[in-house]
């Protein structure tokens, strides 16, 4: 008698054609509106394809509103996040107040770039293309299923986690999932915040009761790609895009073009408690400069400051006019901490910084390197990162367990303990 638990490739060597047809998988059809997810991901059976698959590959990022009507909710969640914008004891009062006041202005900005952010489109495309490559290069953990979890916009982490459960992960069936941050450089306010949120929804959705721990047996088994600031594929992707824009300048001035690497700024209150983000961004910049052969002068600048408190500087919007006033008009702006286009590139750099530069007489000589978006080099880099992680057996980097020296967040501690495997992981890193 035929054993239905045998792998299909074994069955096909001695089963009839009719039996094979009977065993053939017929995927359920999902509507694109299901749970606010744009990508169609068929349900999976935990031991249907390979001994280690299927594997959920979850891209984490901040997200962005797809329409101007979503701007208010996006800002409300953003200013409520004390990991990103710490407002002290008045966070619950000041956060909603600031978001309401800023909503009309930010709605106009999104209207100016087409009515919404393209970050979801690019994230879903990058995740899907990466999974196609992984299915070929790492078949032992196949099939790889792409998911996106945004911190402040749809699909939110809760929606993603619910979708994972609906697709056959967890709920006593176990299954492996990789939380893959799309912030190459780690910060407690970005990747850390996303992981805290993921841990929160695991507790809520996989625990038998609100106050109980989620059971280890049968729950989704998580690992984390928590930082990758100097991965060779990432560095090469940036270098390729910089080279392309440098080639648009006359050859006699090309090597004197100033490269301004622009990263999202952070409040100094976050930096001063020991956040690793500035150092990791600088590491990316140094690696890209090395890849380019150090041909051009450069600086690292910071953008997107919010509010009157002290943030990392100098600000991109101040650096460009300052250089132009000194006679340096040939400038390339590189969004070094972003993996796709969104409001910070399409509006803040393209329509504010570059527009002001042209009004000061730059005459089109201040330009921006293309974002990584659909770069084949970048997508292959993502696949290489994921493959190495899946084959390593390591749940996260050694750095993951080390909290900022000035961290006082118990939620951060508990989240790190979980993702580190209750304090100890395969590479002997511990949670401190």
* Band of pLDDT at residue 166, cut at 50, 70 and 90: very high
Model pLDDT, residue 241: 99
Strands of the sheet containing 176-181, edge to edge, are 144-150, 55-61, 176-181, 221-225
Within a 10 A sphere around the Cβ of 94, how many other Cβ atoms?
A: 16
Give the count of alpha carbons within 13 A of 241, CB side only: 27
* Band of pLDDT at residue 408, cut at 50, 70 and 90: confident
Residue by residue, DSSP assigns 342-411 as -HIIIIIIIIIIHHHHHHTT-TT-EEEPPPSTT-HHHHHHHHHHHHHHHHH--SS-GGGG---TT---HH
Cβ-based neighbours of 164, under 8 Å, separated by 6 or more: 56, 58, 147, 170, 177, 220
pLDDT tens-digit readout, 198-235: 999 999 999 877 667 777 788 999 999 999 999 999 99
Burial class (CB in 10 A: 0-12, 13-18, 19+), 32: exposed
| Class level of CATH domain 29-62+119-227+394-419 | alpha beta
Report the distance separating Cα 185 and Cα 225, nearest Å.
Answer: 11
Residue 409 has pLDDT above 50, yes or no: yes
Mean pLDDT, residues 308-323 taken together: 96
pLDDT above 90 as % of the chain: 75
Strands of the sheet containing 298-303, edge to edge, are 298-303, 258-264, 331-335, 366-368
pLDDT tens-digit readout, 58-92: 999 999 999 999 999 999 999 999 888 888 888 98
Task: Give just the sign of the alpha carbon dihedral 215, 220, 226, 232.
Answer: positive
Residue 34 has pLDDT above 90, yes or no: no
| Class level of CATH domain 232-368 | alpha beta
Residues β-bridged to residue 150? 61, 156
Model pLDDT, residue 215: 79
Q: Does 29-62+119-227+394-419 match 232-368 in CATH topology?
A: yes
Residue by residue, DSSP assigns 290-311 as HHHTS-S-EEEEEE---SSS-B
* Band of pLDDT at residue 173, cut at 50, 70 and 90: confident
H-helix segments, 138-251? 157-166, 191-206, 232-246
pLDDT tens-digit readout, 99-111: 999 999 999 999 9
Question: Where exactly are the structural domains of the chain?
Answer: 29-62+119-227+394-419, 68-112, 232-368
Q: Are 187 and 275 in contact (CB under 8 A)?
A: yes
Within a 10 A sphere around the Cβ of 57, how many other Cβ atoms?
A: 27
In the numeric block, the tokens 């074994």 are attached to 10
Catalytic residues: 231, 384
Mean pLDDT, residues 385-391 taken together: 97
pLDDT tens-digit readout, 343-376: 999 999 999 999 999 999 999 999 999 999 999 9
Residue 10 has pLDDT above 90, yes or no: no
What is Dmax (Cα atoms) for the chain? 84
Cis peptide before 143 (omega within 30 of 0): yes
């Amino acid at each position: 008698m035929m054993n239905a638990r045998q792998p299909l490739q074994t069955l096909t060597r001695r089963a009839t054609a009719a039996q094979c047809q009977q065993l053939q998988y017929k995927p359920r059809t999902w509507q694109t509106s299901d749970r606010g997810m744009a990508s169609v991901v068929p349900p999976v059976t935990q031991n249907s394809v390979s001994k280690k698959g299927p594997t959920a590959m979850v891209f984490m990022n901040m997200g962005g509103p797809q329409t101007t009507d979503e701007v208010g909710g996006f800002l409300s969640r953003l200013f409520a996040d004390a990991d990103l914008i710490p407002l002290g004891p008045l966070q619950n009062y000041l956060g909603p107040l600031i978001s309401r006041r800023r909503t009309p202005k930010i709605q106009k900005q999104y209207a100016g770039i087409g009515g919404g952010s393209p970050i979801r489109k690019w994230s879903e495309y990058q995740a899907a293309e990466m999974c196609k490559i992984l299915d070929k290069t790492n078949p032992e953990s196949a099939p790889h299923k792409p998911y996106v979890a945004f911190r402040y916009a749809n699909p939110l982490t809760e929606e993603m986690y619910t979708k994972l459960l609906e697709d056959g992960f967890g709920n006593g069936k176990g299954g492996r999932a990789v939380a893959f941050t799309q912030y190459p450089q780690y910060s407690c306010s970005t990747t850390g915040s996303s992981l805290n949120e993921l841990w929160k929804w695991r507790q809520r959705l996989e625990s038998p009761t609100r106050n109980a721990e989620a059971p280890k047996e049968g729950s989704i088994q998580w690992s984390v790609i928590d930082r990758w600031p100097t991965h060779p594929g990432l560095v090469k992707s940036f270098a390729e895009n910089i080279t392309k824009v440098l080639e648009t300048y006359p050859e006699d001035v090309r090597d004197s073009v100033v490269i301004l690497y622009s990263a999202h700024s952070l409040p100094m209150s976050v930096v001063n408690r020991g956040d690793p983000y500035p150092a990791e961004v600088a590491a990316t910049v140094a690696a890209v400069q090395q890849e380019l052969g150090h041909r051009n002068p450069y600086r690292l600048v910071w953008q997107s400051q919010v509010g009157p408190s002290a943030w990392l500087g100098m600000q991109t919007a101040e650096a460009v006019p300052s250089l132009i006033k000194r006679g340096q008009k040939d400038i390339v702006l590189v969004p070094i901490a972003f993996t796709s286009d969104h409001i910070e590139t399409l509006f803040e750099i393209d329509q504010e910084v570059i527009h002001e530069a042209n009004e000061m007489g730059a005459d089109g000589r201040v330009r921006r390197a293309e974002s990584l978006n659909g770069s084949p080099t970048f997508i292959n880099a993502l696949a290489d990162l994921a493959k190495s992680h899946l084959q390593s057996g390591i749940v996260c980097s050694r750095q993951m367990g080390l909290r900022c020296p000035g961290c006082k967040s118990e939620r951060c501690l508990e989240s790190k303990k979980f993702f580190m495997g209750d304090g100890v992981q395969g590479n002997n890193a511990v949670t401190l």
